[in-house]
Structure 1
Amino acid sequence: MKDDLHSPGLRFEILGPLSVSLGGKKVDLGAPKQRALLALLLIHVGSVVPLPVIIKAIWGANPPSQATATLQAHVSRLRKLLHRHDLSLRLVHHLQGYRLEVDARMVDAAVFEAKVRDSRKLLKAGDLEAARSTAWTALELWNGTPIGDLYGYEFAVAEADRLEHIRLRTLEVWTQTSLDLGVYDDVTVRVGEELRRNPGLERLGAHLMTAQYHSGQPAEALLTYERMRHAVAENLGADLSKELQVLHGKILRQELAAARVPESARRTAPPGRHPPWHPCCRLRSRRCPCPCRETTGSSAARQSCSGCSACGPKPAAAVAMW
C-alpha cells in the first residue's frame, strides 16, 4: 500500500507514471529531459550513474556536442528543486557521474523490491500467510506501467520490463500461497484480471483453473483452458504446456485434489482488495451485500440464491467472465 512508503519528506513513485509528491501534493518536475534524468537516478538510487551512461540514456548514441553542459544545467535545476522540498536529499557529483542519495523507503520501486524479497524469505521459511500478505502488499504499490510516461527512452522500457517480470513472479507467489491456504475466491478475481490482459501466462492460468475448480466452478476452469489454448495457438502457433493439458484432464475427470487448509487459515480473513463475489453477480465491478456471499462459488449458493438488489435477478446460467 502507498502508506508503506516512508511518510516524512518527498515520495518518489516510478511504479506508474513518474511522480514526486509532498504531503499528497504533486511536485512539478520540469522539462522532459529533466524528468528522464530523475527517473534514471531513481532507478539506480544510492549508486553512481556514470556520465556516459546518463548522456546515452537521455540523448541516445549520437548526443549533441553540448550534451554535457546541458546535463549539468539539468542537474543544477533538479538539485535546487529537491532541496526546495527536502534539505536532506543530495544529488552529488562523484567519480565522473552522479548519485541521488535518498532514503530507499521514499521510493516505491525500492519498497516493492524489498517486500518481494521479504515474501520469498517468508515462503522459504514456510510461513504461507505472512508470505501471501507481504506479496500482496508489494503488488498494491503498483499504479500502472512503470515510468510509462517516459517510454520514448530505452532505459525506461528496459526498467519497466524488469519490474514487470518481478511483478509477475510476485503474483505467482501470492497465487500459490492463496491456493495452498485454500483462499480460492480471491484468486479467481485477481488472476482473472491478469489473464484478461495476457492470456498466455500459463502458470497463472493453471492457478486460476485450480481456484475455479475448487470454488465450485469447473465449467469456468474448462473455459479458461480453452481461452488460453486459443490465444497461444493464435499468437504463437503452439500448444499449451503438458502440465496444463494434464490439469485439464484432471478437471474433466473431477480428479483434482483439494489443498489441505491449515486451521489458522480458516479463521483468518484473507488480505486483498476484493470482497467475495455473489455467485449471481454479472458485473464484477459490483460489490454484493447479499448475505450468502460467505458461500460464494459453492454449488449450494448458486442453486439457492434468487438474486439480490446489487446483482439483479438470477440469470439462467451464472458464468463468471474473465
Structure 2
Amino acid sequence: MAQAPHVDTNARNERWLTVGGPVVFLLLWSAGFPIAKTGLRYASPLTFLSIRFALSIGVLLAVCAIRRPQWPRDARAWLHLVVVGFLVQVMYFGLSYLSMTAGIATSVLALIVSLQPILVGVLAPTFVGERIGARRWIGLLLGLAGAAGVIAARGPLHAESLGPVLLAVGALIGITGAMLYEKRLGTAQDPLTSNLVQYSVGLIFCAPMALGFEHTPVQWTPTFIATLAYLVICNSLIAITLLLAMTRAGKVSQVASLFFFVPPAAAVLSWFFLGEVLPTAAWWAMGVAVLGVAIATWSPRK
C-alpha cells in the first residue's frame, strides 16, 4: 500500500509530460525567437548569452542552496551533462544568436532549426535504435512542407550571405545532437543540478569569446531587462528542463516532431510582439504542419 502514492505520482507526471508539457514547451520556445531578436538590439550576441547564463546560474545557485538537490554521483554522469550543455547552450543558442546578429531573418532561422525532426528521423535508427515507419515519415514530411509554407507565405527569404545560414545549420546540428545524445546516454538527474552544470558550460565557453571579440557596450534599457528575465526564467530554465524531461520520457522522434510547430508559432508570436502580419495563405500552411505533426506523433492506445 505504501507504494501506491509513488506510482500515482509517476503516472500523473507522465500524463502531464504527454499532454501539457508539449504545449507549454512550444509556447515558451517559440516566443524565444522574437524576444531574443528584440534583446539583440541592445547587446552583442555572445555578451547577451553570457549575461543570460550568469543570471541563470545565480538563480539556480540560490535555489540549490535552499533545496540541496542531489548532484551527479560519478564522472560519467558529469560528462553527460557537460556534453549536453555544450550542444544546447553553446552550439544551439550561441550559433542561433550569432546567426540573427549576422543578418538572417528570424523566420529563416526558425525554419532551418525546424528541420531537426528530419535529421532525428534519419539518425534515430542508428543512434537510439528507434524504428521510423512510413506513417511517421509521411507526417514528418507534411510537417516540414507546412512549416516551409508558413515561412514562404510571409514573403521572400533573404540572408545577407551564406555565413548566417551556415551558423543556423550549426545550431540545428547542436540541438539534434543534444536530443539523440540525451536519449541514448543521458541519465535522469535533478533538473536544478543538470541545468546548473549546463549553463556553467555555456558561460565558460561564451564569456571568454565575448570579452575577446565583442566590444559594444550593453544598453541596459527596460526592454532589454525584460527580455533577459523572460529568456532566463522561461527559455533557459523551464523550456530546457521540459525538453530533456520529455526526451527521456518518450520516443525521441516524437518529441522532435514538436519542432514542426515552432515556425508557425513563432510567426504568430512575432505578429503579437513585433507587429508582423501573418498572410492568409500561411494559416492554411499552418494547418498542414499541424496535421503532419499529428500524424507523426500519433500512437494507438494498447
Structure-1-length-normalised TM-score: 0.22
Greater fraction strand = 1
Higher relative contact order, structure no. (Cα contacts within 8 Å, ≥ 6 residues apart): 2
The structure with the largest helix share of the pair is 2
Bigger Rg, structure 1 or 2: 1
